Structure formats: C-alpha cells, structure tokens
Amino acid sequence: MYPCVECNKEKLLQNIETLSRMMHADGKIMCAVIKGFCADDSVMEVLEESSCDWFGDSRIEDLAKLKTKKTRFLIRLAQQCEIKNVVASSEVSFESEMKTISLLQEEARRQKKNHGIILAIDMGDLREGIFYKNFAEIDEAAEAILGSSNLTLLGVGTNLGCFGGVMTDSENMQGLIDVATHIEQKFSVKLPYISGMTTAAMEMIEDNTMPLEVNHGRFGEAWLLGYDSVDNRRLSYLHDDAFLFKAQIIEIKNKPSQPIGTVGGNAYGEHVEYKNEGLMRRALLAFGTQDVKYEYLTPLDKNIEFIGASSDHTIINLHDSEEYEVGDVLTFRLKYHALLHLYTSKYVKKYVV
C-alpha cells in the first residue's frame, strides 16, 4: 500500500555498525537516536542486535514501549507532567532545571529506582541547558543531584547545531570539558560521560580531532540517512538510501502551467506566482503536506520536478515524459525532516525490507 516508507534492514545495520565502530575505536559510547522513525517496532527489532550502546529519544512514549537491554536516554528535558514515566521508562535523562531534578528524586524514591542525569550545558547554540558561563547555577544543579539518594550525576552534555546552527569545534568541546573538570574538582567526583557529539560533529570524528575526554555521542541523521547535518554533507561511507519514500501516481494530464482566472491565496494563504511554461505534463501523487513537505524529498528520477502541493496532493512536472502511467510508483530519498514527518503520519505505511 502507498504512500509508504521502506526501511532496508541490511543497509541500516551497515550504517549503525559503521558508526558504532568509529566510536568504539576510541572507547566512546554510541547512542542511537531513534526519534526519526518514532521507535517503530519493526525497525527496533533490527537495531536491538546492533552494537550501539544506548537508545536515545526525545519522546518518553517511544522509550516506554522498548523491550531492550540497552540504556534508554531521554534526550529532551523532562516535562513535569511526565516525571513518573521518565523514571519508569528511561535510565538516564538530560536535565537543567532544579525543580525538575527535585521531582525526579521524589519519584525515583517512590519507585525505588536510581535515575541517571546528564546535566545539560548550553555551549552557545541557545536551546536547552545551563549557560556554560553560569557556574553558580551549574554548581547548584550538580550539588542537588550529587546529594540525592536516588539520582546519579553521570556527566555533562551539550547540543549544538539544532537551533542556533553553532558548529561543533575544538573550542566549544574544550569548554564542555572545562565544565566537567570544574564539577569533578569542586565536588571530588568523577563524571563517567561528557556527551558532546552529535551528527554535527562528524567531521571532527572523521579527522580524529575530537578530544578523548568527550566520550559520548548521540547520533540520528548520520546513520539513518548518511548525511552530516552541517551543510547537508553527504557521508560517502554510509548508505543514503536505508530509508526510501514511495508514492503512487493517481492522475496524469496535460494542463497549462499557470492557473486560469483571478488568483488569490492558495489553501495556505500563500500567493504563489507560477512561470508560464506552456502546456505541461503534470502528475498528481497521493500524498500532501499533511504527510510530508516535498521540499524534504529528492526524486530518484532526476527528470521529475516538484511544482507544489496541497494537504492531500503533490503535483509534479513529468517534462513530457511518456514513461509513466497512472498507478506507477515514484521513489524518493529523504531528508531528516521528511523521515520525522512520514513516520509520524498514520496515513503512511511503514515496511522493513
């Protein structure tokens, strides 16, 4: 059934094993971020036997359904409304707020569990975390965790590139190391993990310029789609087609290239100007922006050109090609946001092949 996403089991395993080997060569922890496919059961069956060390997700619902022996890491700061599930369904979480840390301690005591925390440090990307210069706040959070009977301070971590576009480099990695060293010296403890690596750090990993002290990484786009999130760089040693999107043609007609009549806003209130290219061989595909934005898709057939989309239809220019008929299926490579949207849509079928 279409539209659908196909996951190639062999290629996905090759990707995650390749990245795991790169991490393990320096004794680093490989956390596979699984939110891109919503921790889909059939894909998780493939990954359970892989050599990655942890599974990370931003949604506690995904972690809760896992049947795994690997460490489950909540990589988004916990909501206060989900504290009970965070303790029950993850071994480790990313945290920065004192009130949340206090609630986690109370709940962990109730559940008679120990919960690990990696203290989130903002190294300049300005999303989550205690700002790296605010040592008083860092000390307060570290002291609270270290003084809790049911919490363990496992380390510090940072996220780069996702909001501010800040690139991972030797300066911000050394800054994160300095924060960890400060905590260790002030409280006479040893932090097991410094979690600074993401897909945005692939170039430093490839060049062996990542400091050894940074020993924990959280990766999604690299092993899922074979791309470095910095400048959309193709990673040639990884497959870029472990996931493919397929959609069926439901109409092919020759029509003018410009709308006819008085033109206002479209279904999204956008005022779009279409270039006059004369008659055009146009095809309708049975998916729309409710499923995924076509801007995140790349057709395998380079002669196909996207024209636009509504909520339920995507329109393409076949460029006078007589190759396609109604009922034919077109295949597309995915960008990371496409994978996120397609696995979230209940109208898109998911298969492992």
CA-wise closest residue to 150 among 187, 112, 184: 112
Residue 247 has a pLDDT of 98
β-strands 193-197, 216-219 pairing:
parallel
**Residue 83 amino acid letter:** I
294: left (phi over 0), alpha (psi -120 to 50) or beta: alpha
What would the two tokens of residue 347 be? Answer: 């109208």
Contact in structure between 119 and 140 (CB atoms under 8 Å): no
pTM (two decimals): 0.94
Eight-class DSSP state of 58: S
Residue 10 has a pLDDT of 97
**Residue 17 amino acid letter:** E
Residue 263 has a pLDDT of 61
What would the two tokens of residue 136 be? Answer: 């008083």
Residue 258 has a pLDDT of 66
168: left (phi over 0), alpha (psi -120 to 50) or beta: beta
Name, in order, each residue with C-beta under 8 angstroms of 188's C-beta and a sequence gap of 6 or more: none
Positions of the chain with pLDDT under 70 = 257-272, 276
DSSP bridge partners of 31: 54, 218
What would the two tokens of residue 131 be? Answer: 């700002």
CATH 2.40.30 boundaries in the chain: 243-352
Residue 297 has a pLDDT of 98
Contact in structure between 251 and 285 (CB atoms under 8 Å): no
Query: Which residue among the candidates 28, 35, 246, 335 is catalytic per the annotation?
Result: 35
CA-wise closest residue to 244 among 187, 301, 183: 301
Residues 107 and 263: their CA atoms lie apart, in Å, by 58
Structural class in CATH, domain 243-352: mainly beta
CATH 3.20.20.10 boundaries in the chain: 9-228
How many alpha carbons lie under 13 Å from residue 208 in its C-beta half-sphere? Answer: 4
Contact in structure between 103 and 85 (CB atoms under 8 Å): no
Which H or E run contains 44?
Answer: helix 41-48
Phi and psi for 351 in degrees, rounded to 5?
-135, 145
Residue 277 has a pLDDT of 73
Residue 242's CB is within 10 A of a number of other CB atoms, namely 24
Residues 173 and 180: their CA atoms lie apart, in Å, by 11
Residues 29 and 214: their CA atoms lie apart, in Å, by 10
Give me the CATH topology for the region 9-228: TIM Barrel (3.20.20)
Give, in degrees to the nearest 5, the angle at Cα 129 between 125 and 131: 70
Known active-site residue 35:
yes
Residue 265 has a pLDDT of 57
CA-wise closest residue to 91 among 151, 19, 15: 151
